[in-house]
Each structure stands twice: as C-alpha cells, then as structure tokens.
Amino acid sequence: MLALLRKWTIAAVAVLGMTAAGSAYSAPKTVLVVGDSLSAEYGLARGTGWVALLEQRLKAEKIDARIVNASISGETTSGGRTRLPVLLQQHKPDVVVLELGANDGLRGLSVPAAADNLRTMIQLAQQNKAKVLLVGMRMPPNYGRAYTERFAGMYKDLAGTYKVPLVPFMLDGVAQDAANFQADRMHPLATAHPTILNNIWPQFAPLVKR
C-alpha cells in the first residue's frame, strides 16, 4: 500500500510539473514600444503604422505576444528616459523596443546627451529582465558630416556596449524617395510602413521566438 501511495505521489508531482511548465511556455510575451511620431502613427489612419503591422504579423506567425505602444509624437530621448521607469513597472515587458533620437537630432541637440539618455533606458530595461531592441535613425546630410556620423555612431556604440540587437536605420529603403513621405516630408506614408516593419522584423523576431 505504501509503495502504491508513493507511485501516486510521484505521478501527481510529475503532472503538476508538466502543467506548470506548459503554462510558463504558453504565457504571452509583452512587447513595449517606446518611440516618437514614427511609431505613433502620426498623420496615418489608425492601425496602419509599423507597430500595428507588427502586431498583425505576430498573429499571422502564431507568436503569442502583446504589444504596448507607448510612443508619443515629438518625444525625445529625455522624455523617454523620464517615462520609462513607470512603463516598466506598469507593463513588466519581456521586450523593449527603443525607437528614439530622431527629434534630438532634428533639433541639433547634443549627441552625448542623447546617448546618455538611451544608455540609461537600456540599463533600466535590462535591470528589469527585459530584452532590448535599439532602432536607429540617421540625420539628413544637410546637418553636416561630423554631426551625422556622430549621430549614427551613437546607436552602433550603444548596441555594441550593451550587446543588444540594432536596426541601423529604420527608414532604409524609405528615406531615399520623397514620394514615400507625407506633405511635411518627414513622416512616412502608410504605404511605406511595411518597409519599415521589414527593416525591424529580422532583429525583432528572435527576441520573441526564444
């Protein structure tokens, strides 16, 4: 009788273990996107920006993930740094996508200051056990070679230091043609956002597939 009871106990523990493992495996990942107008669907119909397209692609590929788009038009790295601690506490993301810096660059703000803000954001996300994807931007050539090179190099340096995947230029294949932009010549049309997603997806996908 005692031997039979032990077998039942072992079987019950094994079943509970399998159930717990299955629950952990099936738990959806939370993806937090912290960006500016390029991620906030500025000037676009709701649901046509790259973040919305990302959500659709995750569903199509049967990847169980929840997207929280905390992007704000006009956001700078300083604003993102200020908001991030509360966002991390509120949403407890598994993945944080940082798409910031464009507004710093367009305003000619200090590259070291922007780098410091992004550095702090990466560190905060990693301290909260989140994987980070850094989405880079480049400045137009009229900002001068020295500034544009420092600006682009900022993302590369941060990605290397903190060992996070990098999308070097989210507007690759878009910025080269003015026909891809709205009347302000700064914000891409909805038709360009699939290209933006295609630039981001190869670096993003491994973070949610693990």
Half-sphere exposure of residue 94: CA atoms within 13 angstroms, side-chain side: 16
Global model pTM greater than 0.85: yes
The reported pLDDT for the residue numbered 209 is: 87
pLDDT: which is higher, 30 or 25: 30
Q: How far is CA 118 from CA 1, 76, 163, in A?
A: 64, 10, 14
| pLDDT, mean over the chain | 90
pLDDT (average), residues 184-199: 97
pLDDT: which is higher, 159 or 23: 159
The answer on pLDDT for 167 being more than 50 is yes
Q: What CA–CA distance (Å, rounded) separates 50 from 66?
A: 15
The reported pLDDT for the residue numbered 69 is: 98
The reported pLDDT for the residue numbered 210 is: 67
The answer on pLDDT for 170 being more than 70 is yes
Q: Which domains does the chain have, with CATH numbers?
A: 29-209 (3.40.50.1110)
User: pLDDT tens for residues 143-155?
Assistant: 999 999 999 999 9
User: pLDDT tens for residues 78-90?
Assistant: 999 999 999 999 9
Which pairing describes strands 65-69 and 29-35: parallel, antiparallel, or unpaired? parallel
The reported pLDDT for the residue numbered 83 is: 98
Q: What CA–CA distance (Å, rounded) separates 98 from 121?
A: 8
Tokens 């932009």 sit on residue: 181
The answer on pLDDT for 67 being more than 70 is yes
The reported pLDDT for the residue numbered 44 is: 98
Residue 85, C-beta contacts closer than 8 angstroms, at least 6 positions apart = 124
Looking at the chain, the whole-number percentage of residues with pLDDT higher than 70 is 87
Q: What CA–CA distance (Å, rounded) separates 80 from 57?
A: 26
Catalytic site positions: 37, 184, 187
pLDDT (average), residues 20-44: 82
The answer on pLDDT for 7 being more than 60 is no
The reported pLDDT for the residue numbered 20 is: 42
* Token representation of residue 93: 């993301």
Looking at the chain, the whole-number percentage of residues with pLDDT higher than 90 is 86
